Amino acid sequence: MNYFCTMNAFSDTIIEWYAENKRDLPWRNTKDPYLIWVSEIILQQTRVSQGYGYFLRFVERFPDVQTLADAPEDEVLKYWQGLGYYSRARNLHAAARGMRGKFPNTYEGVRALKGVGEYTAAAICSIAYDLPYAVVDGNVYRVLSRYWGIDLPIDSTQGKKTFAAMAQELLDVSRPSLYNQAIMDFGAIQCTPQTPDCLFCPLAQSCQAFSQGKVAQLPVKQHKVRTVDRYFHYIYVRAGAYTYLHKRTGNDIWKNLFELPLVEADHALAEEELLASPLLHSWLAGNGSFTLGLRRRQVKHVLSHRIIYADFYELILPEDTVSFGEFLRIPIAERGRYAVPRLIQAFWEREDV
């Protein structure tokens, strides 16, 4: 028999499923809004399996709002190194500094925190304070669009409004914390993007997408993300026991992280082109002899809107070199203290340089 659950029955089924399938995650066994906030920010763009260790290390070092607020930004970024989307860490830190030791306890107060959108505010407020705000994230869009057979694009204004209203109506207001966590886990474990487990799904009998054979077509998105290719040529300088870094500033990826001297171009430069680069020459001015050699070509690093193709060169300078452009001179043995993009960390590790 094919029938829709009532809204209450839908919520009850999801909560029953959760009781049996709940993941044992450290941020699920707490009502501390700070810990829930940190976990939600980490998980915004990160899989649970990757974020788990980061969460534990982060809250061990920064166990509460004040400790985070008191820490230098460079250290916060270092604990974030490898997670990507570093604006999340900068926003966490800035928001902690604005709290004066006390986490806000209203939806409006939480929503006003830097880097906190509607989804994160609803998650924090429902889980920590049992406030009746429904979460709407990718998991929720997927479950609702499939179960109710809705093909409105989830990235359209109309789609967003419809799904948000529906999610709010479905929310079990007597237990918002439980319901929100249940539907997020249901989407993450049962009704997954590529391989939903429809055959063993407690909602299968009444699921519209399943009965109509449309599971793979839902949810619908109207815009494809456009990506831009960028070509980075990193120069790993070695002058005796020293190397050179600089901090990225400006409104671009990896803001406030450290990186190797970089020549960016609109295409992958051949070695001779790099050698002729005015930027490289300006850095080398005043330095005597040098040797430049390619260590690694076309390392592909995929970000949400960009694909970076990186070549890594090694530049050997005389041991007594004391400056290279405006870069920061650091002992190679201490480079691990600096927060760098994963791309650079991986180069150091793989090349054993």
Which positions touch ligand SF4 (CB under 6 A)?
143, 146-147, 190-191, 196-198, 201, 203-204, 207, 209-210, 215
Whole-number Å distance between alpha carbons of 55 and 80: 9
Q: Which is nearer to ligand SF4, 146 or 233 (CB)?
A: 146
d(CA 211, CA 305): 35
Tell me the C-alpha distance between 30 and 218, whole Å.
34
Q: Which of 40, 75, 272, 314 is catalytic?
A: 40
Comparing CB distances to ligand SF4, the nearer of 197 and 334 is 197
Return the C-alpha torsion angle 47, 48, 51, 53, nearest 10.
Answer: -140
Name the minimum Å distance from CB 23 to ligand SF4: 17
Nearer to ligand SF4, 98 or 193 (CB): 193
Is position 40 annotated as part of the catalytic site?
yes
Residue 217 C-beta: closest distance to ligand SF4, Å: 11
Smaller CB separation from ligand SF4, 147 or 242: 147
The DSSP bridge pattern shows strands 258-259 and 242-247 to be antiparallel
Q: Where are the beta strands (DSSP E) in the chain?
A: 228-238, 242-247, 258-259, 262-265, 291-302, 306-316, 328-331
What span, in angstroms and rounded, lies between the C-alpha atoms of 304 and 282?
Answer: 33
Place of tokens 């830097």: 114
Q: How far is the CB of 140 from ligand SF4 (least distance, A)?
A: 12
Nearer to ligand SF4, 197 or 319 (CB): 197
CB of 9 to ligand SF4, least distance (A): 13
Query: How many angstroms separate the CA atoms of 120 and 125, rounded?
Result: 8
What contacts 141, CB < 8 A, 6 or more positions away? 154, 163, 219
Q: What distance in Å separates the CA atoms of residue 159 and residue 37, rounded to the nearest whole number?
A: 27
Nearest approach, Cβ of residue 45 and ligand SF4 (Å) = 23
Q: Which residues are catalytic?
A: 40
